[in-house]
Amino acid sequence: MIDLQPHLPILQVVIPLLGSLLTAFIRRGTLSWLVTLIVTWTLPFIAVALFLQVQAAGAPIYYKLGNWEAPFGIVYKVDVLSAFMLCLVSGAAAVIMPFARKSVASEIDSHQQSWYYTMYLLCLAGLLGIIITNDAFNAFVFLEVSSLSTYVLIALGRHRRALVASYQYLIMGTIGATLYIIGVGLLYLLTGSLNFDDIAARLTSDLVWPLEPLLAALAFIFVGLSLKLALFPLHVWLPNAYAYAPSFATVFLAGTATKVAIYLLVRVMFEVFGVALTFDRLPVAEILIVLSVAAMFIASFSAVFEDNAKRMLAYSSVAQIGYITLGIGLFNQAGLTGAFAHVANHAVMKTALFLALGAAFYRIGSVRFSDLEGIGRRMPLTMGALVIAGIGLMGTPGTAGFISKWYLAMGALEAGSWLLVFLIVASSLISVIYVGKLVEVMWLRAPSPAAAEAKEAPLSMLVPLLLLAAATIYLGFDTRLTVDIGNQIATLLLGGLK
């Protein structure tokens, strides 16, 4: 038997790819679901094994594709940051799989279900590939693999608006990816390399680089990836895409897709260009902080006035991305720790919230507030979990959301800005309004005709939901998984190439 241990990095990407091929051949909904389940439940083990390997080694793991040496061939690199993201994305993909079977079976035409899982696994392979690759162009290819499959996942929503939402996302997403590749192209013209580490090494070498094209490259990559991660005001594709996509696609994308774009941006900003170039030469930090604060407030206000629960949570996602980018814009230890803790915490909470709405949609076929009235009394467990995740989103002490916002506030203090601390707290108060609205509609009103006939969600939907709700509480007390790792990541990013 050959030793698979050194090959774990490639298996992380190839297993979902092979799984997607298998589902494309099978063409039977339930069987494809089973294949997808097995594949997605294998991946977290590989991710955790990689994480432990990195922790034990204390240095990044490299994997040479085709055994070609570093700047010439494509190399995969796993360090603390990428191992953390691998665990997060593969974990999120695994947890929601039990939910998928009934949700997909009820929302997707039977002859398309198998293709749907194919697209899901392709998207997953693309996201994991972006995280693990150390090659700028390879990252673009994986970005497009995941994006193209995402457009399909969204377009298969039941309402015809899903088509328009998917089309708009396709236009915006392609512009974003193309801007990214223009930036990479400028970097390639300058340095003659596509390997992230190699570019960074060449940029920090004694050679004198012309500054203008370098800054232009940074600007192109920054704007392109900001489109992908839905940084305010480049977020307009996100609410519709999340709102009209099938429940399962929303659940998956809300937890993973934008986070991976954030990861890529951080990687390029901190490791390739370096803190000095990124933050001293261009006002990246100021831009990020201003836009983040705008996102926290404007998107939250938009959420308050929504009458579609899924759209409301989508706007809330834009606001929460604002917290993450705020932490990155602060670029100090506490801020970055908070940002990455929030990447994990937000993934847990938002996935739980969309799971609960997906379960409600499965029972009553709508997520409009007028139909959700009083549904809490009919589906107490589902909506109870929703309330817990919602409380976490507000940042109440004792939940995961509090931890990350605490560190963000610490980061703002470290940067010497009381104003930012105040803004973080104030924007959290807006989230109290929209989460409160959700809770009020679901629990305090008399059941609507649709809700009156609803039953508790099936067990396969309840289990992942309750698991994530429990995680929301657990991560509010045990911070080893989020803050400690976030701290390591912050040290890595700030202590790295300057």
Partner 1 sequence: MMEALQKFATHYNYFVTIFLMVAGLYIVIARGNMIKKLVGLSLFQTSVYLLYLSPGKIVGGTAPIYDGAYQVYANPLPHVLMLTAIVVGVATIALGLALAVRINEAYGTVEEDEIFSKDGEI
Partner 2 sequence: MKLDLVLRVGTKILLPFILVFALYVQFHGDYGPGGGFQAGVIAAGMVILYAIIFGVNKAKHIVPQALVEAMIPLGVLIYAGTGTVSLLLGYNYLDYTGFAGDFLRAHEWGILIVELGVLVTVSGTMIAMFYAFAERGR
Residues at the contact surface with partner 2, assessed by CB under 8 A: 2, 7, 10, 14, 17-18, 20-21, 24-25, 63-67, 118
Helix ranges restricted to H, 379-417: 380-394, 400-414
The answer to the question of residue 152 lying near partner 1 (CB under 8 A) is yes
Binds partner 1 (CB under 8 A): choice among 27, 161, 281, 498: 161
Least distance in Å: CB of 27 to partner 2?
Answer: 9
Q: Contacts with partner 1: how many residues (CB under 8 A)?
A: 27
Q: 3-state secondary structure string, 145-166?
A: HHHHHHHHHHHCCCCCHHHHHH
Binds partner 1 (CB under 8 A): choice among 112, 174, 204, 491: 174
Per the CB < 8 A criterion, the answer to whether 40 and 97 are in contact is: yes
Q: Which of 227, 415, 422, 230 is nearest to 331 (CA)?
A: 415
Report helix, strand or coil for 78.
strand
- Which of partner 2, partner 1, none lies near 185, with the C-beta cut-off 5 to 8 A by kind? partner 1
The answer to the question of residue 328 lying near partner 1 (CB under 8 A) is no
- Which of partner 2, partner 1, none lies near 64, with the C-beta cut-off 5 to 8 A by kind? partner 2
* Closer Cβ to partner 1, 3 or 212, answer by number: 212
Per the CB < 8 A criterion, the answer to whether 128 and 43 are in contact is: yes
Least distance in Å: CB of 54 to partner 1?
Answer: 29
* 52 membership: H or E segment, kind and range: helix 29-57
Binds partner 1 (CB under 8 A): choice among 11, 18, 34, 175: 175
Distance CA 113, CA 102 (A): 11
Name the residue with tokens 């392609």.
174
Least distance in Å: CB of 8 to partner 2?
Answer: 11
The residues in 73-132 that bind partner 1, with binding defined as CB under 8 A, are none
The answer to the question of residue 429 lying near partner 1 (CB under 8 A) is no
Distance CA 187, CA 207 (A): 15
Which one of the spans 28-36, 135-143, 271-279, 288-296 is the region binding partner 1 (CB under 8 A)?
135-143
* Closer Cβ to partner 1, 239 or 392, answer by number: 239
Binds partner 1 (CB under 8 A): choice among 18, 21, 34, 141: 141
Binds partner 1 (CB under 8 A): choice among 119, 181, 326, 383: 181
Binds partner 1 (CB under 8 A): choice among 155, 275, 321, 344: 155
Distance CA 226, CA 285 (A): 13
Joined together, the tokens standing for residue 468 give 């994530």
Distance CA 410, CA 405 (A): 8
Distance CA 238, CA 259 (A): 13
- Which of partner 1, partner 2, none lies near 216, with the C-beta cut-off 5 to 8 A by kind? none
Name the residue with tokens 């593969």.
90
Per the CB < 8 A criterion, the answer to whether 47 and 9 are in contact is: no
The answer to the question of residue 316 lying near partner 1 (CB under 8 A) is no
Joined together, the tokens standing for residue 277 give 């170039």
Per the CB < 8 A criterion, the answer to whether 79 and 27 are in contact is: no
The residues in 192-221 that bind partner 1, with binding defined as CB under 8 A, are 194
Dihedral in degrees, nearest 10, Cα atoms 299, 354, 380, 348: -90
- Which of partner 1, partner 2, none lies near 167, with the C-beta cut-off 5 to 8 A by kind? partner 1
* Closer Cβ to partner 2, 69 or 212, answer by number: 69
Binds partner 1 (CB under 8 A): choice among 106, 112, 178, 460: 178
- Which of partner 2, partner 1, none lies near 161, with the C-beta cut-off 5 to 8 A by kind? partner 1
Distance CA 224, CA 218 (A): 10
- Which of partner 1, partner 2, none lies near 10, with the C-beta cut-off 5 to 8 A by kind? partner 2
The DSSP annotation for 237-293 comes to: HHHHHHHHS-HHHHHHHHHHHHHHHHHHHHIIIIIIIHHIIIIIIS-HHHHHHHHHH
Least distance in Å: CB of 240 to partner 1?
Answer: 6
The answer to the question of residue 185 lying near partner 1 (CB under 8 A) is yes
Packing angle of the helix pair 247-266, 136-155 (nearest 10 deg): 160
Least distance in Å: CB of 159 to partner 1?
Answer: 9
The answer to the question of residue 151 lying near partner 1 (CB under 8 A) is yes
* Closer Cβ to partner 1, 193 or 292, answer by number: 193
The residues in 235-254 that bind partner 1, with binding defined as CB under 8 A, are 240
Which residue ranges make up the site for partner 1 (CB under 8 A)? 137, 140-141, 144, 148, 151-152, 155, 160-161, 163-167, 170-171, 174-175, 178, 181-182, 185, 188-189, 194, 240
